[in-house]
Amino acid sequence: MYFELGYTGIQSYIQSGNVIFKSDIPDSSLLERTIHNKILESVGWSIPVLVLTIQELKRSLEYNPFIKNQLKDPAFMHLTFLSGIPDQELVEKIHPGFYLPDEFIISGKIIYLYCPTGYGNTKLSNSFFEKKLSLTATTRNLNTSKVLLSLSLKEEDTI
Q: Look at residue 156 in the predicted model and tell me its pLDDT.
A: 65
Query: Which residues in the chain land under pLDDT 70?
Result: 155-159
Q: Look at residue 157 in the predicted model and tell me its pLDDT.
A: 57
Report the predicted TM-score, pTM, of the whole model to 2 decimal places: 0.92
Q: Look at residue 17 in the predicted model and tell me its pLDDT.
A: 82
Percent of the chain with pLDDT over 70: 97
Q: Are 129 and 111 in contact (CB under 8 A)?
A: yes
Q: Look at residue 90 in the predicted model and tell me its pLDDT.
A: 98
- Residue 107 parent element (H or E): strand 103-107
Q: Look at residue 158 in the predicted model and tell me its pLDDT.
A: 47
Q: Are 30 and 50 in contact (CB under 8 A)?
A: no
40-53 confidence digits (pLDDT tens)? 999 999 999 999 99
Alpha-helical runs (H) found in 1-141? 28-43, 54-62, 88-92, 126-133
Percent of the chain with pLDDT over 90: 92
67-90 confidence digits (pLDDT tens)? 999 999 999 999 999 999 999 999
HSE value, Cβ hemisphere, 13 Å, CA-based, for 109? 16
Q: How far apart are CA 45 and CA 159, in angstroms?
A: 31
